[in-house]
Amino acid sequence: EDQVTQSPEALRLQEGESSSLNCSYTVSGLRGLFWYRQDPGKGPEFLFTLYSAGEEKEKERLKATLTKKESFLHITAPKPEDSATYLCAVQEGSNTGKLIFGQGTTLQVKP
């Protein structure tokens, strides 16, 4: 069964304290892995797409990486405005467009 697991469930950091979020997946034929940021009461905001193992993408303080089994979202020197829930989703091999979401990691960055 296709599955996406994110860890930790919640993460508290001090401003400037770098860390990583994990997204592990088991799918039959990965067609893409997606990272989203979601603020409370709002729709998810697209961050990155990764397609193949070894691929990396960066945006400001965020860097996403992909292996054959998992993806990491590295946050360097976070600021309070980085506080949000980060969602990982994968598109599996069947040609349906359906995404499988993880449960998310809620990040709180304290000043």
Residues that bind another protein (CB under 8 A): 31-32, 34, 36, 41-46, 49, 51, 87, 89, 91, 95-99, 101-104
Cβ proximity to another protein, 54 vs 111, nearer residue: 54
Nearer to another protein, 41 or 111 (CB): 41
Burial (CB count <10 Å: 0-12, 13-18, 19+), residue 63: middle
At 80, phi and psi to the nearest 5? -55, -35
Nearest CB to another protein, comparing residues 28 and 96: 96
CB of 18 to another protein, least distance (A): 25
Rounded to an integer, what distance in angstroms lies between the CA atom of residue 88 and that of residue 104?
A: 7
